[in-house]
Amino acid sequence: MIRKIQLPLQTLNLVAGFMVWVLISSLMPFIKEDINIPADKLALVTAVPVILGSLLRIPLGYYANQFGARVIFMLSFILLLFPVYYISIADSITDLLIGGLFLGLGGAVFSVGVTSLPKYYPKERHGFVNGIYGAGNLGTAITAFAAPVVATKFGWSLTVQIYLVLLGIFIAANFFLGDKKEVKVQTPLLEQIKGVYKNEKLWLLSLFYFITFGSFVAFTIYLPNFLVAHFELDKVDAGLRTAGFIVLATAMRPIGGWLADRFHSLILLMFVFGVYTISAVILSLSPSITWYTFGCLSIALSAGIGNGVIFKLVPMYFQKQAGIVNGIVSAMGGLGGFFPPLLLTLLFNITGHYAIGFMALSQVALASLILVVWMYFQGRMEIASQVIDHTIEGILVTDKNGKIISVNPAFTEITGYKQEEVVGKNPSILKSGKQSKGFYQDLWTSIENNGFWQGEIWNSRKDGEEYLQWLTISAIKNDAGDVVQYAGMFSDISSHRVKKAK
C-alpha cells in the first residue's frame, strides 16, 4: 500500500514545494507597495529563490538515493518553515533577498522525486511517471493565481504565513505515508560524478533543460510584474494569465513523458525547439497582448513537452548514476530561470524594449535544435557501431582503392591481426595462395556486375594457419551510384567442413 501511494504523495510534495518557491514573485505587486524596491532590483528579488532552488538539486538528488525520499522531503519542508516566516515579517529589500535565497529549497525538492520514483516502475513507464511527478509544477500556478486573491483580502504578510500551515501538513504526510523501505543506492558521490562528467550527453541534456525548464521558471517569475507594468493589467488578471501559462506547461509535461515512452525522444525534442525558435521570434517583435499571449502559450506547450521528454532520457542514458545526473540536469534547468529575467531587465534598461532578449532565446533554441539533430544521427551511428563491434562475424572495410580503413574485434579474433596491423594495407595479406588468379577475377567481375560476391574462400591467419571462410564482399555506393568503399563480412567455417568430412 505504501509503495502504491508514493507517486501521488511525492507529486503533491512537489506541488507544495513549488507553491512556496514562487511566493515572492507571485506577491511582488503587493509587496512593493509596502517595501521600497528600486525598479532595477525587482528582477533580482524575484529571481534570487532560483539560486538555491537550482544548486541544491544536485545534493538533494544524491541524498535521495542515500536516505530515501521520505527523509529528504521531511527535512526540506521543516527547513522551509524558517524563510517563509522570515519573509512574512520582512520590511526591507534585504529581508526579501535573504528570505528568498533560502526559499529556493522549495524548488530544489524537484530532484528528489525524479530520483526516487523510477525505482517503483519498469523502464517503459519512466517517461510517463516522471511526467506525472513533474506536473507538480502546478504548484507555481496555484500560488500565482491564489496568492494575489488571498492577499487582496488579508494582505500579503498573512498570506505568506498561511503557507506555514501547508508545510506542516506535508511534514506530517511524509512522516506517516513516506516509504521507509525505499531501495537505497550507496554509490559515493565522487564516484558518480567521475562516471558522468565527461559524458557529452549529460551537458547536452543540461542545456536542453536549461532552456525548457529555465524558460518555464523565468516566465513564471517574470510575467506577473511584466504584465502589470507593460500591458497595464490589474494584479489579479496578471496572476490569472500567469497561472494559465503554468497550467498549460504543467499539463503538457506528463503528455511529453507519455509520448517519449512511445516515440523517439529526440524527434520530439526537434519539434520542441522548432516551436521555441518561432515563438521567441514572435515575442521579439513586441507584439500586441493577443500575439504576446500566443507566443507565451506556444512556449508553455513546448516547454511542458520538453520537460517530460528530457527526464525520460536521463534514466535511459544514465541508469546507474540517475541520482547525480537528475540533480545536475535539474540544477541547470533551475539556473535557466535565474538569468533570463535579469538579462531582460538589463536589456530593457539599455534599449527600452525586450526584443533582443527574446531574439537571443530564439537563437539558443535554434542551436539546440541543431544539437538534437546531431544527437539523433550520432545515436543511429552508435547503434550501427555497436552491432559491428559485437557481431561474431569478422568485418573489414576498405576504401575504393582496396586499402583497409577499419576492422572489428571479431576480425582480430578470427585472423589474429590487430586493427593497427592491417589499416592502410591491402586485404591480400590474408591470402592463402590456394585460389587461382582467375578465381579473383571472377570475384571482382561479380562485384562490378551485381554489387556483391558471396562464397567459400581459403585465407590464412597471422600465424600462417590456413582456414576456410564464408565470405561476403559488398560494394558501398554513394547517392550518385559511385563505389566509395568495400565491406567484407566473413566467418570461419573450417570446423563445419571437418565435421561434414567425418
pLDDT digits (tens, 9 = 90+) for 301-341: 999 999 889 978 887 777 667 677 877 887 888 777 777 76
Predicted pLDDT at 330: 79
Question: pLDDT confidence of 13, banded at 50, 70, 90?
Answer: very high
339 Cβ neighbours under 8 A, 6+ residues apart = 47, 214
Per-residue confidence band for 412, with pLDDT thresholds at 50, 70 and 90: very high
Task: Report the alpha-carbon distance of residue 442 to residue 435 in Å, rounded.
Answer: 11
Q: Where in the chain is the domain with CATH 3.30.450.20?
A: 392-501
Condensed to tens digits (0 to 9), the pLDDT of residues 214-247 reads 888 778 777 877 788 778 888 788 878 888 888 8
Residue 342 pLDDT greater than 90, yes or no? no
CATH T-level topology, domain 1-387: Growth Hormone; Chain: A; (1.20.1250)
Q: What's the confidence (pLDDT) of residue 500?
A: 46
Report the pLDDT value the prediction gives residue 381, as an integer from 0 to 100.
67
Q: If one looks up domain 392-501 in CATH, what number appears?
A: 3.30.450.20
Helix/strand/coil (H/E/C) assignment for every residue in 199-229: CHHHHHHHHHHHHHHHHHHHHHHHHHHHHHH
The band of 298, judged by pLDDT with boundaries at 50, 70 and 90, is: very high
Average pLDDT of span 246-261:
88
Burial letters 81-109, b for 16+ CB under 10 A, else e: eebbebbbebeebeebbbbbbbbbbbbbb
Helices (H), 232-354: 235-262, 265-284, 289-317, 322-335, 339-351
Q: What is the mean pLDDT of residues 30-57?
A: 85
Cβ count near 12 (within 10 Å): 18
Most trustworthy range by pLDDT among 61-70, 185-194, 473-482: 61-70
The model's pLDDT over 89-143, given as tens digits with 9 standing for 90+, comes to 999 999 999 999 999 999 999 889 988 998 898 888 888 888 899 888 888 888 9
pTM over 0.75: no
| CATH 1.20.1250.20-classified regions of the chain | 1-387
Q: Strand 394-399 vs strand 404-407: parallel, antiparallel, or unpaired?
A: antiparallel
Burial readout 226-265 (b: 16 or more C-beta within 10 A, e: otherwise): bbbebeebebeebbbbbbbbbbbbbbbbbbbbbbbbeeeb
Q: Which position has the grid cell 521520505? A: 70
Residue 214 and residue 333 in contact, taking contact as beta carbons nearer than 8 Å: yes
